[in-house]
Structure 1
Amino acid sequence: MATPDELFQRAVAAHQSGALDEAEQGYRQLLEAIPGHPACLTNLGSILAHRGETDEAERFYLESIASDPNQLNTLFNLGNLYRRTGRSARAVPLYEDALRLSPNAPLVLVNLGLAVSDGGDWPRAVECFARAVTVTPDVADGLNLLGDALARCGRRDEAIAAFREVVSRFSDSPRGYCNLGLHLAAAGQTDEAIETLERAVALRTDYPEAHNALGVAYEAAGRTDDAQVAYRMAVHLRPDFVDAWANLGTSLGDQGRTTEAVEALRRALELAPNPIAQSSLLSNLLFSSTLTPEQLRDEHVTWATAFADPLAPAERPRKRDPNAPGRVRVGYVFGEFRSRAAFAFLETLLTHHDRKQFHITAYPNSGRQGEDYDRLRRLADSWKPIAGLPDDRAANLIRSDEIDILVDLNGHAPGNRLLVFARGPAPTQIGLFSYPATTGMRALDFRVTDGQIDPPGAESLYTEKLLRLPDLSWLYVPPENAPAPNPLPASRRAFTFGCLNHPGKLSDACVGAWAEILKAVPKSRLVLLAGQSVSSSEEIAARFTQRGIVSDRLELVYRLSGSDYFEAYQPLDVTLDPFPYGGAVTTCDSLWMGVPVLTVAGHDARGRQGMSLLNALGLPEFIADTPEQLVTLAATWADQRDALADLRSSLRDMVAHSPLTDAATYVKHLEAAYRSA
């Protein structure tokens, strides 16, 4: 009859050869003879864990540890079981016990780093991965994990150095190149990021993460078509790649291909609920001419119900006594500025707020630096970046600052921190400036607006209460470097309409009406902004061709910046406001350049900005009630070139002396609204 040692050795041999059923039988037979045999319990646990029988595996591991608590492998294996089953917090003490037995066990150090990072303790993860790299410097995975943990701690330069070490020592490591490229792109080193990521996909063509990262880098370099090819390759290689679907959808939306964008974003959301991807979806749905305002509201409420409302605290901070001494503490939360005007708007607020009455804290969700941001920092009483802070920690920071009024400047736009607001860190929370719809959130108490953008009855379209300012709901800050308006171009050549708005705003209804305008005004031309994508611009041209407009009557210009953007208004006689989602800042830019804007009064805030601005200037004759009336108005104004020439010479002065640019009055009205809230 076999001895216990012989039974154990036979079972181990079967285990090592992959004969797991035979090994299990041997271990169980031995346990009948020696019930507390620790190694036997551990090995049997590993077989059961391999089969997915986690409860039984856990039981055997725990029995083994009870029999002998000083077993490195058992502690390690049970820790791994807990990590795999989402119980990382229970894995941590097991790995720590294993390290007391073997302080430099590299795999234990790595897995402890992974377990603490699962709980968000990235500084400790850095310590673990750094020790593992010191013990086994010849393993690329340790350096990759260290670089990622450093980046999560905001130590990007050190992270990049770690990834450079990976590709220097392991030149055939596609993962190292992918990680290095990702962080170079995040640091703004776009050209090197592209070169590095192209190396990653050359080393491994079936690497979806690298294709996705390469798409992001191409996007940053303005190579939108290349970016979309990279995203499509990523989802081809991994059809369930949520981030790549979301990136593809966002990119398509930025180039005006709204239908495709919505399809890609909905695909991402089918795969996994994601508040950022669904915010991007909502931003694209704003462009739709088929959704009713009520349907648009409901889409936003769906987002909030899924992601925001469940985060509401049991109790919000109490509102201060309005008669209490001290300044009202206002906090502004904002992301990356995607336009000059958005930056200038906040700068004007910080400049004109009455600091005897208001204390201003800025919470930028941006890691950007430079003179512009330094100027904002100097204007704020307190500057506390929240980029990289998880939503709960950002909310706790704001709550500890005892902010009275927390103001969101983003809505669902990219870079938003709405899930910070969802946690209710301030007693009063307000949406301001840019987003022309409800956020859908119960936690956002008010929306700043005016009586024309949101007339009586509009309340039903919002979860927020409406704070209507007396004049306009926002302020236009004219550019300092815009050229002076030139004489009316139509006096010398064919009449030219234009629109330099986001191409996503070119809804089918809008394109149809504008095609009719070109037919109603013989030989007229239309200049449109087409983003950065050649394929998207070709699609825009095809939509007009399908409506009988030959290509030589259409001019498509690619995304413009700085002085080039304002110069692009010089050849235009009249600009057309898209619908149902019209312009706001773009409308003001056109007016500042002496080019009047024809708009259709919309049914919700998306399409009523132009009407509000034109009425503030005393120009209601440029407002149409319907798309059909817009065609008639456009043809009428094309025949009134003397009147347009006179208006062109005086529009800038009209804007400069109107509520559109009266910063002091606007801020007084806003502060009064804050007090009433």
Structure 2
Amino acid sequence: MLAGPYQAGIEALRDGSPEAALPLLTEALEDPDRGSLARLNLGLALQALGRLAEAVPHLEAAMEALPDLAEPAFRLGSIAGLRGDAAGAAQLLRRALACDPGHVPALAALAALEEEAGDRMEARRLLVAARQHDPAEPELELALARLDLTEGAAEAALEGAARVLTLRPAHAAAARLFAEAALAARGPEAALAELAARAAADPFAAGWPLATARLHELALQPEAALAELRVAAMLAPEQPEVQAALGHALAGAERTAEAEAVLRAAIAGRPSDLDLRNRLATVLWRANRPAAMEAVLAAAIADFGPHPTLLQNRALALNALGEQEAALAAAEAALPGGGVAALVNRIAVLPYHPVAGTAAGLRAAAKAIEAALPPVPALVTRRRPEGGRLRVGLLSGGLGQHPVGWLTLAGLEALPETEFELAAYSLKPRSDPLAARFRARCALWREVGALEDAAIAAQIAADGVDILIEMGGYGEGGRPFVLRHRPAPVQVKWVGAQFGTLGLAECNGMLTDDRETPPGHEVFYTERLLRLPDGYVCALAPPYAPPVGPLPALAAGAVTFGCFNKPATIVKASGDRYDVPYAC
């Protein structure tokens, strides 16, 4: 006897083929006896494929038609959690548990929400209750081990993570927890030695190189971590979570082509992972492919809803495409729940907007950032002693072949070494010829990009910097909040996303000129404007630049204007006509 469409759809789901199940379950929706169950399983199939926006209405209809069944409410609760709606997720999970108090996935999901909210006692109670129903489930063991580590019981966490890895040797989350627990319990050298011994005893288990990679990450050794992740991926090529870990590491190393391929493979196996989709979008951004980035983010927003991180990155993509209206709308949609990051994102796209991007608007946006920041104590209150060279700190990710480098190096090289000593705090490693010249001019060079703001500030203060020059602002990779810790007695802004005020009380001045900030514009800046007489930048022509040719206007009889710039600065006016009212 041939199976009907409902039974065939269920079999496809059991075989791990949700795509094949879709047409069968759709056909079974008309079944008078099992139509509601078909709708539930259709929602499950769509959820498994990461098509959350399509899954939700089917699951909602199933929850209404099958009010005594826990599964629809649980599935909707898990989707709400993915979309960042913790309150809605908790309500749906409790509804599922009201139908079935022993529903283990709902208990575990609710425990995760309670842990995230800071109620570890309630999280542990829920996990213990779940284990009573399913004592052999490794995910429950792992969740309890994570709580142990949070509460300082590193040895218990270590044992729990090890038991999970025994059952699932390629479990990435268990491997990371094992590494963190080993580090807490035994220190870095002993932890590495233990992992080496375990890997030697079980050389085909991907968990041990995964755990070793985590130790290297914590030690700020990204290349060593990447090497271990490659080994793990070779040992477990079929595991999406291993591919995900490798993809994240490749993205962090800016190996964009390889990262894109690995991330797409990981997303195919884990389509409901928001972080993977967002990471792919950032890789496409690095590859200067804003249209592809925007398409990935639009699809992710359709599934995960208006998640602030997705909206912020979409604002950047739309801005790069010259769609300033849509970019600012996306940035402002991210403000509820987006915190300081969303405020910084808004100010990053605001200057490109032809109406809202005014000096007054930028000042208001900058002050909104400052108002949202918690207070921090000042590290340095000293005054510089008389005599001796001034130690000038440079805080930037562009100390090389980058617009910041091209616009500052000539001026810095011209400073007399008998009076000025330069200390570089590089936020991004660079090894190009321009970077070599920066290194040659600087008496002190520190790579600090992996450190938190407070740690960078502490290092600057310890080095005795007299004047700190911030050269990143609210642009990509900038770290202006280091200034808030007051690591130097005098702190100044120069170049690097210098489209307006930082709005930070700890920034004393801004190097500028009377064309960049004409007289009368002081009201739009919280910094003292330090106007240089002949221009605020020192543009350096690259050695490969062609010689200056004759003026074309002499032959044409008219001046021809050109703009060699990015699409974000081109404002769409009407129809297919574009205008460039300002350059950024």
TM-score by length of 1: 0.58
Give the letter for the 1:226 counterpart.
A
Aligned pair in 2 of structure 1 residues 465, 135: CA closer, same or farther (>3 Å)? farther
Greater CA deviation, 451-460 or 405-414?
451-460
SS of the residue aligned with 2:539?
coil
The partner residue of 2:228 within 157, 162, 166 is 162
Give the letter for the 1:283 counterpart.
A
Partner of 2:353: 288
CA deviations 1:197-219 (Å, max 9, x no partner) are 23223444444333333333333
| Percent of pairs with identical residues | 25
Asked if structure 2 preserves the Cα contact closer than 8 Å seen for 1:114 and 1:125, the reply is no
SS of the residue aligned with 2:352?
coil
The partner residue of 2:524 within 450, 455, 461 is 461
CA shift, 1:173, in A, is 1.3
SS of the residue aligned with 1:384?
strand
Equivalent residue runs for 1:633-672 within 5 Å: none
Report whether the alignment pairs 1:318 with 2:345.
no
CA shift, 1:340, in A, is 4.8
CA shift, 1:142, in A, is 5.8
Distance 2:500 2:400 in 1: 19
Partner of 1:300: 366
Asked if structure 2 preserves the Cα contact closer than 8 Å seen for 1:110 and 1:142, the reply is no
Report whether the alignment pairs 1:477 with 2:501.
no
Distance 2:265 2:393 in 1: 44
CA shift, 1:389, in A, is 1.1
The partner residue of 1:211 within 277, 280, 294 is 277
Partner of 2:155: 96
Distance 1:447 1:51 in 2: 45
Asked if structure 2 preserves the Cα contact closer than 8 Å seen for 1:110 and 1:128, the reply is no
Give the letter for the 1:244 counterpart.
L
Equivalent residue runs for 1:223-238 within 5 Å: 223-238=289-304
Partner of 1:611: none
Matched length: 458
Give the letter for the 2:349 counterpart.
N
Partner of 2:552: 488
Distance 1:456 1:483 in 2: 35
Asked if structure 1 preserves the Cα contact closer than 8 Å seen for 2:161 and 2:177, the reply is no
SS of the residue aligned with 1:269?
coil
Asked if structure 1 preserves the Cα contact closer than 8 Å seen for 2:392 and 2:466, the reply is yes
CA deviations 1:143-166 (Å, max 9, x no partner) are 445434423433222222222222
Asked if structure 2 preserves the Cα contact closer than 8 Å seen for 1:311 and 1:423, the reply is no
Give the letter for the 2:278 counterpart.
N
CA deviations 1:95-116 (Å, max 9, x no partner) are 23676x9996667985464469
Partner of 2:395: 333
Aligned pair in 2 of structure 1 residues 498, 80: CA closer, same or farther (>3 Å)? same
Distance 1:329 1:397 in 2: 14
Aligned pair in 2 of structure 1 residues 464, 412: CA closer, same or farther (>3 Å)? same
CA shift, 1:334, in A, is 0.8
SS of the residue aligned with 1:261?
helix
Aligned pair in 2 of structure 1 residues 79, 96: CA closer, same or farther (>3 Å)? farther
Partner of 1:384: 446
Partner of 2:570: 506
Distance 1:176 1:462 in 2: 48
The partner residue of 1:400 within 451, 458, 462 is 462
SS of the residue aligned with 1:270?
coil
Asked if structure 1 preserves the Cα contact closer than 8 Å seen for 2:216 and 2:222, the reply is yes
Partner of 1:244: 310
SS of the residue aligned with 2:382?
coil
Asked if structure 2 preserves the Cα contact closer than 8 Å seen for 1:126 and 1:150, the reply is no
Report whether the alignment pairs 1:443 with 2:444.
no
Distance 2:198 2:236 in 1: 17
Give the letter for the 2:223 counterpart.
D
Structure label with greater radius of gyration: 1
CA shift, 1:331, in A, is 0.2
Asked if structure 1 preserves the Cα contact closer than 8 Å seen for 2:378 and 2:484, the reply is no
Partner of 2:219: 153
Partner of 1:361: 423
Asked if structure 1 preserves the Cα contact closer than 8 Å seen for 2:389 and 2:421, the reply is yes
CA deviations 1:382-415 (Å, max 9, x no partner) are 1111111111111110010011100011221111
Report whether the alignment pairs 1:544 with 2:545.
no
Distance 1:51 1:462 in 2: 43
Give the letter for the 1:316 counterpart.
V
Give the letter for the 1:155 counterpart.
Q
CA shift, 1:336, in A, is 3.4
SS of the residue aligned with 1:286?
helix
Distance 1:326 1:457 in 2: 37
- Unmatched segments (≥5 aa) in structure 1: 1-19, 25-45, 62-72, 513-541, 546-575, 584-677
CA shift, 1:444, in A, is 0.7
Asked if structure 1 preserves the Cα contact closer than 8 Å seen for 2:509 and 2:528, the reply is yes
Aligned pair in 2 of structure 1 residues 264, 507: CA closer, same or farther (>3 Å)? same
Distance 1:283 1:268 in 2: 13
Asked if structure 2 preserves the Cα contact closer than 8 Å seen for 1:280 and 1:414, the reply is no
CA shift, 1:502, in A, is 2.9
CA shift, 1:257, in A, is 1.7
Asked if structure 1 preserves the Cα contact closer than 8 Å seen for 2:256 and 2:283, the reply is yes
CA deviations 1:596-617 (Å, max 9, x no partner) are xxxxxxxxxxxxxxxxxxxxxx
Give the letter for the 2:222 counterpart.
R
Distance 2:310 2:196 in 1: 31
Distance 1:163 1:432 in 2: 39
Aligned pair in 2 of structure 1 residues 287, 218: CA closer, same or farther (>3 Å)? closer
Distance 1:192 1:103 in 2: 30
Partner of 1:668: none
Aligned pair in 2 of structure 1 residues 134, 234: CA closer, same or farther (>3 Å)? farther
Partner of 2:344: 279
CA shift, 1:484, in A, is 3.0
SS of the residue aligned with 1:332?
strand
Give the letter for the 1:544 counterpart.
R
Distance 1:106 1:259 in 2: 50
Give the letter for the 1:166 counterpart.
A
CA shift, 1:303, in A, is 0.8
Aligned pair in 2 of structure 1 residues 197, 452: CA closer, same or farther (>3 Å)? closer
Partner of 2:256: 190
The partner residue of 2:489 within 413, 416, 427 is 427
Give the letter for the 1:477 counterpart.
L
Equivalent residue runs for 1:66-77 within 5 Å: none
TM-score by length of 2: 0.66
Partner of 2:473: 411
Distance 1:51 1:396 in 2: 35
Distance 1:124 1:286 in 2: 52
Greater CA deviation, 194-203 or 162-171?
194-203
Aligned pair in 2 of structure 1 residues 109, 496: CA closer, same or farther (>3 Å)? closer
Asked if structure 1 preserves the Cα contact closer than 8 Å seen for 2:176 and 2:210, the reply is no
Partner of 2:68: none
CA shift, 1:263, in A, is 2.4
Partner of 2:88: none
CA shift, 1:416, in A, is 0.5
Give the letter for the 1:279 counterpart.
V
Asked if structure 2 preserves the Cα contact closer than 8 Å seen for 1:174 and 1:200, the reply is yes
Equivalent residue runs for 1:46-195 within 5 Å: 55=121, 91-92=151-152, 94-96=153-155, 111=177, 113-114=179-180, 140=206, 143-144=209-210, 146-195=212-261
Give the letter for the 2:415 counterpart.
H
